[in-house]
């Protein structure tokens, strides 16, 4: 039997409750919705971590952060195999496209990819004048809404790779990371004005710009965000989601037009979510709350998955076991992974409804976060005990 292609897509900072197929009131994601209608959507999917490096390391190794230890920008141990390394050994052409340094060689997540594009680097010229000119030009393009954080270039490079490197007689494994809708929130036109709210109240343009650029300014600059400003941030976030959804639609169309899509197992998920004032928090640091750990998770592969929605709890650590079972890659590798295969058995994944899931956080609470919380002492008592040896456990609605 011909081996299927594997496509794993991670959308940075995408919380599940802002995806329209997960019940959001805005139509932010028509292309992801269409994708979900053609495959399996998992309503109770949770991240293993609260920020980019540990969450992606879990996706790509099948291990929890306490096992892979890729936290605080620590590089992944060379002794831990990745999906790309494993599939490369089993005859796959492996390629990666990433838009965040925290998902690349800086933390060892490029390993196993025969071709690896770190798109975030932009112009790689060592000439400082050239690089400086590029930054000025890019800033101007951002101002007039003509550029993004890499999604357009990603699709271009995927198309180029398929033109030059794809061999229909050799399966591929492709990892794609989109950084939109991660801050800075600056959606390109025409998506910039797609969603807007008529919330009355004070809006300070300078304060709003600081928050859109980096929401940690709420803590570091001790900004008091008004309701109107908070809603404006949500509007921009939703516009970013709509844009990356559009680019996802283009990417899937590239595969569809080449008659590759139906021969490809496609998994789409996110690394974590984002806070917009819930529990007095912004960004995605120092929290295991639902807006951070509840993520979208969808699988499409017509040969195995009929259109369906599942309520069983799933996590990043289930991705690697699913791929291993699909390709019949034998143990002992499977024995070393804590996750479960999501391949359907008798029409649905063989996952217990009351399966416990774990979201780990290394317990770092920056002082600037503590200083802004109304009851920072009580908050610290609750969360500082969570080190790499402890986890928040969720079973259905209980934590």
Gap between the Cα atoms of 92 and 84, Å rounded: 8
What confidence tier does 363 reach under pLDDT thresholds 50, 70, 90? low
Residues in the chain: 399
In 3D space, the residue among 358, 364, 357 whose CA is nearest the CA of residue 387 turns out to be 364
pLDDT of residue 1: 67
Following DSSP, what letter does each residue of 249-285 receive, concatenated? Answer: HHHHHHHHHTT-GGGEEEEEEES---EESGGG-EETS
pLDDT of residue 6: 99
* 287 Cβ contact partners less than 8 Å away, ≥ 6 residues apart: 50, 275, 279, 281, 361
Q: Is the pLDDT of residue 183 over 80?
A: yes
pLDDT digits (tens, 9 = 90+) for 259-275: 999 999 999 999 999 99
Res. 148 pLDDT band, cuts 50 70 90:
confident
Domains of the chain: 5-192+237-354 (3.40.720.10)
Within a 10 A sphere around the Cβ of 80, how many other Cβ atoms? Answer: 19
In sequence order, which ranges of the chain are alpha helices (DSSP H)? 30-37, 52-61, 65-68, 83-89, 128-143, 151-164, 205-213, 217-220, 227-257, 290-293, 319-326, 367-372, 376-383
What is the structure's pLDDT at 124? Answer: 34
pTM for this predicted structure:
0.88
The structure tokens listed for 245 are 């959804």
Q: Looking at residue 217, what is its pLDDT?
A: 84
The DSSP result for 278-324, as a single string, is GGG-EETSS--SHHHHEE-EEEE-TTT--SEEEEEEEEGGGHHHHHH
User: Is 361 within 8 Å of 53 (Cβ atoms)?
Assistant: no
Local confidence band at 370 (pLDDT 50, 70, 90 cut-offs): low
Q: How confident is the model at residue 216 (pLDDT cuts 50, 70, 90)?
A: confident
Answer yes or no: is pLDDT of 93 > 60: yes
308 with 63: CB under 8 angstroms? Answer: no
Q: Of 220-224, 301-305, 374-378, which range is least confident? A: 374-378
| Position 144 pLDDT exceeds 80 | no
Average pLDDT over residues 41-54: 94
Contact (CB, 8 A) for 47 and 359: yes
Query: What pLDDT shows up at residue 121?
Result: 82
The stretch 178-200 carries a mean pLDDT of 86
Question: What confidence tens digit (pLDDT) does each residue in 323-360 have?
Answer: 999 999 976 565 689 999 999 988 789 898 889 989 88
Q: What is the pLDDT of residues 239-252, one digit of tens each?
A: 999 999 999 999 99
User: Residue 141 pLDDT > 60, yes or no?
Assistant: no
In this prediction, residues 95-100 reach a mean pLDDT of 94
pLDDT at 103 over 80: yes
CA atoms within 13 A on the CB side of 200: 0
Which range scores top for mean pLDDT: 36-40, 74-78, 335-339, 372-376?
A: 36-40
Q: Which of these ranges, 92-96, 136-140, 148-152, 322-326, has the smallest mean pLDDT?
A: 136-140
Find the mean pLDDT for residues 359-381: 58
Average pLDDT over residues 97-111: 91
Res 348: pLDDT: 84
Q: Answer yes or no: is pLDDT of 399 > 50.
A: no
Band (380; pLDDT cuts 50, 70, 90): very low
Per-residue model confidence (pLDDT) at position 142: 54
Gyration radius of the chain over CA positions:
21
Mean pLDDT score of the chain: 85
């Amino acid at each position: 039997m011909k081996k299927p292609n594997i496509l794993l897509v991670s959308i940075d900072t995408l919380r599940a409750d802002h995806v329209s197929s997960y019940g959001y009131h805005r139509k932010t994601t028509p292309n992801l919705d269409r994708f979900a209608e053609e495959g399996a959507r998992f309503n109770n999917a949770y991240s293993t971590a609260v920020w980019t490096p540990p969450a992606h390391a879990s996706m790509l190794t099948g291990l929890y952060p306490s096992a892979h230890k890729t936290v605080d920008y620590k590089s992944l141990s060379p002794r831990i195999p990745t999906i790309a390394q494993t599939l490369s050994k089993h005859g796959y052409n492996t390629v990666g496209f990433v838009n965040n340094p925290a998902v690349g060689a800086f933390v060892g997540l490029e390993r196993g990819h025969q071709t690896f594009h770190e798109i975030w680097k932009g112009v790689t010229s060592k000439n400082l004048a050239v690089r400086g000119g590029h930054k000025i030009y890019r800033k101007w393009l951002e101002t007039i809404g003509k550029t993004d954080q890499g999604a357009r270039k990603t699709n271009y490079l995927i198309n180029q790779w398929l033109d030059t490197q794809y061999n229909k007689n050799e399966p591929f494994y492709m990892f794609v990371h989109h950084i939109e809708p991660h801050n800075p929130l600056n959606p390109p036109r025409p998506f910039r004005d797609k969603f807007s709210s008529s919330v009355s109240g004070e809006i300070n343009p300078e304060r709003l710009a600081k928050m859109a650029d980096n929401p940690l300014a709420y803590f570091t600059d001790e900004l008091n965000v008004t309701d109107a400003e908070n809603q404006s941030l949500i509007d921009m976030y939703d516009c970013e989601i709509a844009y990356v959804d559009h680019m996802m639609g283009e990417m899937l169309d590239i595969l569809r037009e080449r008659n590759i899509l139906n021969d490809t197992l496609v998994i789409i998920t996110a690394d974590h979510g984002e806070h917009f004032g819930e529990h007095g928090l912004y960004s995605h640091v120092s929290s295991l709350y639902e807006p951070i750990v509840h993520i979208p998770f969808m699988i499409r592969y017509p040969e195995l998955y009929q259109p369906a929605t599942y309520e069983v709890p799933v996590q990043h650590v289930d991705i690697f076991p699913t791929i291993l079972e699909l390709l019949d890659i034998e143990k002992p590798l499977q024995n070393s992974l804590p996750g479960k295969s999501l391949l359907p058995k008798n029409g649905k994944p063989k996952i217990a409804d009351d399966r416990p899931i774990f979201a780990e956080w290394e317990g770092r609470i920056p002082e600037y976060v503590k200083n802004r919380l109304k009851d920072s002492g009580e908050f610290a008592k609750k969360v500082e005990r969570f080190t790499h040896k402890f986890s928040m456990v969720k079973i259905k609605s209980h934590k």
